[in-house]
Amino acid sequence: MMNPFMLGGAVAILLLMLAALYRLVWGPTVFDRIVSANMIGTKTTALLLFIGVLYEHLEMFVDIAIAYTLLNFITTLAAAKYFQRRPPVDASAAGTAGEEGKP
């Protein structure tokens, strides 16, 4: 038997992830995409816990959730560091001062 509250919560989080995917695909700057990817990753941690309760193997899915949280944090930091060294090409589309010779 599946807990109806847990099932509803999992479906709600899945729909919220789909809504956040809009910003990931059509975001005007690359930073919008990074923020959206970070947000979807955080929601995935919660979704993994929901799935663990639904399948009654929470002790297994907790480890996956820990690994996913760490990976999500590292991914965001790595993307931020990368674009600090190498400014994105679409930065000028968002009203930036692209021609001022920033490194």
5 binds another protein (CB under 8 A): yes
Q: Tell which residue, 14, 31, 45, has the closest CA to residue 82.
A: 31
How far from chain centre, in Å, is Cα 45? 10
What tokens does 34 get?
């990074």
Q: What is the CA radius of gyration of the chain?
A: 18
Q: Is 14 in the site for another protein (CB under 8 A)?
A: no
| Most distant pair of Cα atoms in the chain: their distance | 62
54 part of the interface to another protein, by CB under 8 A: no
Q: Which residues of this chain interact with another protein, rule CB under 8 A? A: 5, 9, 12-13, 16, 19-20, 22-23, 28-29, 31-32, 34-36, 38-39, 42-43, 45-46, 49, 53, 58-59, 62-63, 65-66, 69-70, 73, 76-77, 80-81, 83-84, 87-88, 91, 94-98, 100, 102
